[in-house]
Structure 1
Amino acid sequence: MRDLQITTTGPIVDKVNYVGASLTVDSVTYPARMRGRGNYTWFLPKKPYKVKLDKSTAMFGFPKSKDWALLANMLDESNIRTAVAYEIGRRIGRWAPRSVFCEVTLNGSYQGLYQFIESVEVQPGRLEIREMSGGDTGGAALTGPYVLEQDAYFVDPGWITPLGNEMNYDVPDVVGVPQQEAYIQNWINSFERLLVTGDVAWLQYADLPSWADWYLLQELTKNYDSQWYNSCKFYKDQGEPGRVVLWPPWDFDQSSGGWGAQQIPRSGWWTRQQRDQRNNWLMYAVRSPVFAGLLKHRWQTIFLPALADLDAYITTLADDLREAQVRDRAKWFGRPPALHHTAPFISSWLTVRKGWLTTNL
C-alpha cells in the first residue's frame, strides 16, 4: 500500500483535456498531466484518471513508460477483481497490466483507494510488437500490427463492420491515412465474415492459443463485458495474410461473482453467449471442434496449474488492502460491502467456477 499525493493546476473536468499535475510518492515528485478516463465509470462519483508523465519512468519498479492509469474500481467494492484477473493472465505466461494499490489525496482532499496500473500500450515491457507510423502505407509495413478494440460505446475513431461490430482504432491512429484505414477495415471485415459464416478458413487467420487463453480467462471470471461488447482488445499482426491475436485482457471490475450490485451464478456459460445485434466472435469460435479441443487442452495443462494456489494470492492481497478499504468505504459508501464484494466470496466463487468449467468444457 502506497500513499500518492497529487496536485493539479486546475480541475480535471473531462476525458479530453489534460491538466498539469505533479505526483508525489515516497517523497519523490513526478511532473505529469492528467485527464479523465473510462466510459460509464467516468460518470460515477469516484473518478478514474489517465496519467501521462512528462518523462518515461519506471514507476514502482515496472518497465519505463509515460502512460499509466488510476482505476477507481467503484463498481467493484472489493477493489481486487481486476488485479486477480491479471494475476491469472501472468500465471499462464502472458503479459497483463501490473499495478500497485495507492491511497490517493488530490489537491489536499482524500480520494480513497486507487489502483495505479500499466495501461495497454505498444511499448517495451508491455505489448511488445512493432509500433506503426503514419508513413506505413505500402508493402509489409502496411500489414500491421494494428491494435484494435471492440467497444460498444464507440467513442473513439473506427468503423462498424458489415456484421454490426464497433471496431475502435487504437494503435496506430489510422484516421487520415487512407491506405491504413482501407487495409485494416477490409482485412477485419473479411475475417469476420469467414468466422460468422462458419467457414473453417477463419482458423488460418486466428492466433488460436491467444484466443483460447483470452476466452478461458473471460469465461472463468464471467467478465460482464466479454460477450464481444466492451474493452475487447486484440491486434492484427504484421504479415500477409496475417492473424488476429486476441490479447491483452482489460477491465474486470464486473466479474468473478459480482456485476456491481448483482451477485452472479457460478455455473453456466457467459462469454460465448449472443448479447444483442452484434455478432459475438467467441460464440462462433467455440463451435469449431478444433478450437473446442484447444480450449480443453489449455484449460487442463495451463490454467488449472496456474489456479492451484490462487486463494493464497487473494487472501494476501485482501489483507494488504484491509485498512485502506475501511477508509475508502467511509469516503464513498458509508456502509459495509455486500457479501459478493468480499475476498472470501470471490475466492470461493472462482473455486466453484473452476470446477464447473472443468466438468463442462
Structure 2
Amino acid sequence: MNRITFIVAFLAMMPLLLTAQTTQLTGKPIGTTSVDYSTGKASTTVNTPANAFDNDPNTFYASYQRSYGWVGMDLEEKHVITRIYYRPRQNWGSRLELGVFEGANKPDFSDAVPLFVIPKEVPDSRLSFCNVYCSRAFRYVRYVGPNDSRCNISEIKFYGTKAEGDDSQLYIPGSLPVVTIHTEKGGDITSKEIYQQGVVSIISDGGKSIYSDSLNIRGRGNGSWTFPQKPYKLKLFHKKRVLGFPAKAKQWTLINTYRDKTLMRNLIAFEASRLLKLPYTPACTLVDVFLNGEYKGIYQLTDQLEVRKNRIDVEEMTPEDNSLPNLGGGYFIEVDNYANQEKSKFYSARFGTPVTIKYPKDDEITPAQAQYIKNAYDRFESRTFLNSYTDPNVGFASLLDVESYLKRFIGMEFTGNTDAYFSVHMYKKRNDPKFYTSPLWDCDLAFDNDSRTYPINSMTTFVSLSDKCSTVAGMKQMLNRILGVTKKEMSAYWSEARNNNDFTAEHFTAYIDSIAKAVDASQKLHYTRWKTLNTIVTLTVAARGSYKAEVDFVKDWIGKRIAWMDNKIGLIPTAVTDLADATIGNINGSEHCIMIRNFKAGSLLQVYKPDGTCIVSRKTAQANEDVQIPAGFYIVKVTEPDGKDARKKVLVQ
C-alpha cells in the first residue's frame, strides 16, 4: 500500500477516531526550565509548563534556553495521538512556525519521533489544530519550539485513544525519509572532533518502516562546517544497510544542502558517475532531518567515504601488515588542500602535493605502511614526468588506472566543478601497482553554481585546466601531462556513456524531475527554516526566485553542457565508434570542405556532428569528392559497395 492509499484509508476512519477522542488527554505538565522575561533569568514560578495546559490564552510557556526548549505532558499511560490543538502566545504567531510535536516512551525523549511540524505562522486569535497520522502509542508527548523562539506557546491540547499502538504508520512531513536524532546532551552539535552519544531513528517507505539504533554523532566538513546548517558524521552502534543502500556499515554522513538551491546537485553528480561506470558511486538520498526535536531541513544521507565492501573496496589491513605482499594494500588517500589539518598525511616529492592517508586509519597505520604509500605515490608522480612517460611499461600508465582517472575527469567536467582538483580521492589495491581514482564528490557548487567560474559553458577550455579553477599543488601539471596523450581514450569513454549508457539531457531531465517531485513538500519546510532561496550564499551566483526556477536552470544548463562536452571531447556516434585509421581511401578536413579521395564510386558517405546528428548521407558519384560544409568538428564514414569502410574525425577550418 502506498502512502497516498494509506492516508485515504486513514481519513476514512477519522469519524471513528474523532468519536474516540472527544475527551482531551490529561497528565502531568513537563518541560525545560522557564524564563522570567522581567529579569531574563530562569524561573520556576513564571511562564511554566503548566501555563500551556491551563486553558487561558493570556498565559504562556517560555523556556529559558532560546533554542531546543520544550513543553509537554506525561500521560502516565500509552496513547495513540490523533489530534493536537495549539495556540501561540498573543501577537507571536510567528514563533510557532516550524515548531515540532513529538511522542516518546522514555522520559528523556531519546526514542522520540515527530508527530507534526507546524508549516507556517498561525493566528493567535484562536486555537489551530492538526490531525496526527501516527499509529505508534506514546506515554510522553511534547512541543519543541523552533530555533531561537524560547518555545513560546500559549495552549496545547492533546487528543487520542488509550492503546498499545503499532508502527504500521509513522509521520513524515513530505515524501522523503526522515532521520531524527536525539543526543544525551541535547542542543546543537558543536564539535567536529568530539562525538555525542544518542539515538537515531530512520523512517522510510512513506512512514511504514522505521529503524532505530544508538549512535555517536559529530560535525564534519571543512567549508561546509562554517554554514548555519551543519553537516554531520554518524556512527551507528550496529552495521546496517540503511535504506537498502549497498554497504552494510556503521558510518554514514549527513551532507548539508545550504548552498545548493536545487538540493540535488550532489545526487545529479552521482547519477553521472553511475552512467560513466566509475568504480565507486556513493549511495545517497535526500532526507528530512530532526535534531533533538528541531527541524534542521533537507540533507543528503550518503555513504561515509571509507574502506569497506560496496564502498572503497580494497583489502583491509592490520598493524601486522608491514611486509610484502600485505604491505601493498589496500590504501585510500585523498590529495587534499586541507591535509595540513589531518594527523596522517605526507607531501609528495616533486610538487609537495598534500595527501591525507584516509586508510589505514591514523590511529592504526604503522610507519612502514605510511612510508610505503608515500613512496608509491612519489613513483607515480615521478613517472608522469619522465621523458618516456607515455611508455605503458615505465610511464604514468604503469602506476595509474587511466580509465578511472579519465572517467572522473569527464564526470567533474560535466558537472563544471571548480574544485575538482582541490580534492581527489584515490585508492590502491594489494598486488596491483596502480592507483584508482574515484569517486566524484563535493559538487554543491557545480552545475554553474560557482561565481568563480560562472558562466562555465562560455569557456573554451576545460574548467579544471582554466586559470579560474582551484587545484592542489601539482595537480594541474599532472592533468595537462596525462590529458595531452589520452584524448582518444577520453573520447571513447565519453562516447560509451553517451551512446550506450543513456547519458543524455533527456535522462537527466527525467531524473531531476523525479527528485523535484519527491522533494516538493519538504523543500517548502526547508526554505522556511533556511532563508536561502532568495539569497546569494557564499560563492554562489544567483537567487532565481523560486525552487522551480532553480531546478529549471540546472536542467537547461545540463543540456547545453552535454553539447559542449560532445564538441570539446569529441562524441563518436554509435555508427562510427570504431576510429581505426582508414585502410581504404583518404578522408581529410580542409578549408570549408571535407575531401574524400580514392574511394569507389557508389560508396555511402555519412557525415556526423559531434552530438551524433547525421547531416550528410548519400552515395558518391565518383572516386574523389569535396563536401562543402561550415567550419567545425565532424566525424566521417565512407562505406564502399563491398562493405569495407573508413572512418575519421576531421576538423574543417
Distance 1:80 1:284 in 2: 33
Could you tell me the TM-score, scaled by structure 2's length?
Answer: 0.52
Deviations 1:329-353 (A, max 9, x none): 1211164472398111111111111
Q: Is residue 446 of structure 2 the alignment partner of residue 255 of structure 1? A: yes
Task: Find the partner of 1:169 among 357, 361, 366.
Answer: 357
The gaps in structure 2 that reach 5 residues or longer are 1-175, 204-209, 536-542, 570-653
The aligned counterpart of 2:557 is 349
> Does the 8 Å CA contact 1:174/1:180 hold for their aligned counterparts?
no
Distance 1:229 1:53 in 2: 30
> Does the 8 Å CA contact 1:51/1:67 hold for their aligned counterparts?
yes
The aligned counterpart of 1:292 is 487
The aligned counterpart of 2:179 is 4
Distance 1:216 1:261 in 2: 20
Which 4+ stretches in 1 moved above 6 angstroms?
Answer: none
1:106 corresponds to which letter in structure 2?
A: L
Distance 1:61 1:141 in 2: 33
Aligned pairs for 1:61-72 within 5 A = 61-63=244-246, 64-72=248-256
Distance 2:417 2:385 in 1: 22
Deviation of the 1:58 alpha carbon: 1.4
> Does the 8 Å CA contact 1:75/1:260 hold for their aligned counterparts?
no
Distance 1:112 1:56 in 2: 26
2:329 corresponds to which letter in structure 1?
A: G
Distance 2:380 2:367 in 1: 20
The aligned counterpart of 1:239 is 431
The aligned counterpart of 2:374 is 185
Task: Find the partner of 2:384 among 195, 199, 207.
Answer: 195
2:439 corresponds to which letter in structure 1?
A: P
Deviation of the 1:45 alpha carbon: 0.6
Going from structure 1 to structure 2, the CA distance change for 1:262 and 1:322 (only over 3 Å counts) comes to: farther
The aligned counterpart of 2:173 is none
Q: Is residue 413 of structure 2 the alignment partner of residue 208 of structure 1? A: no
Deviation of the 1:360 alpha carbon: 1.3
Note the aligned Cα RMSD (angstroms).
2.1
> Does the 8 Å CA contact 2:336/2:472 hold for their aligned counterparts?
no
Deviation of the 1:133 alpha carbon: 1.9
Moved more, 73-82 or 335-344: 335-344
Distance 1:134 1:249 in 2: 30
Q: Among the aligned pairs, what percent are the same residue?
A: 24
Task: Find the partner of 1:21 among 171, 178, 198.
Answer: 198
Distance 1:196 1:350 in 2: 35
Deviations 1:284-315 (A, max 9, x none): 21111xx2111000101124543221110011
Distance 1:135 1:267 in 2: 53
The aligned counterpart of 2:331 is 146
Q: Is residue 474 of structure 2 the alignment partner of residue 279 of structure 1? A: yes
The structure with the largest strand share of the pair is 2
Going from structure 1 to structure 2, the CA distance change for 1:168 and 1:145 (only over 3 Å counts) comes to: same
Deviation of the 1:234 alpha carbon: 0.7
Distance 2:511 2:471 in 1: 36
> Does the 8 Å CA contact 1:73/1:253 hold for their aligned counterparts?
yes
Deviation of the 1:261 alpha carbon: 9.2
The aligned counterpart of 1:306 is 502
What secondary structure sits across from 1:307 in the alignment?
coil
Task: Find the partner of 1:270 among 453, 460, 463.
Answer: 463
Moved more, 39-48 or 95-104: 95-104
The aligned counterpart of 1:326 is 524
The aligned counterpart of 1:91 is 275
Could you tell me the TM-score, scaled by structure 1's length?
Answer: 0.92
Deviation of the 1:174 alpha carbon: 5.8
Deviation of the 1:115 alpha carbon: 1.1
Q: Is residue 346 of structure 2 the alignment partner of residue 159 of structure 1? A: yes
Aligned pairs for 1:47-126 within 5 A = 47-63=230-246, 64-94=248-278, 95-126=280-311
What secondary structure sits across from 1:4 in the alignment?
strand
> Does the 8 Å CA contact 2:534/2:544 hold for their aligned counterparts?
no
Distance 1:67 1:103 in 2: 19
The aligned counterpart of 2:228 is 45
Going from structure 1 to structure 2, the CA distance change for 1:126 and 1:335 (only over 3 Å counts) comes to: closer
Deviations 1:86-113 (A, max 9, x none): 1121223343111221111111111111
Q: Is residue 419 of structure 2 the alignment partner of residue 225 of structure 1? A: yes
Deviations 1:11-35 (A, max 9, x none): 4221111110211123442211100
Deviations 1:205-253 (A, max 9, x none): 1111111111100111111211x212x101122226x001111222111
The number of residue pairs the alignment matches comes to 356
Deviations 1:13-72 (A, max 9, x none): 211111102111234422111000000111111000000000001111113210100011
Distance 2:522 2:466 in 1: 37
> Does the 8 Å CA contact 2:195/2:216 hold for their aligned counterparts?
yes
What secondary structure sits across from 1:104 in the alignment?
strand
Distance 1:332 1:262 in 2: 25
Going from structure 1 to structure 2, the CA distance change for 1:301 and 1:66 (only over 3 Å counts) comes to: same
> Does the 8 Å CA contact 2:406/2:490 hold for their aligned counterparts?
yes
The structure with the largest helix share of the pair is 1
Deviation of the 1:273 alpha carbon: 4.0
The structure having more radius of gyration, on CA atoms, is 2
Highest relative contact order (Cα 8 Å, sep 6+), 1 or 2?
A: 1
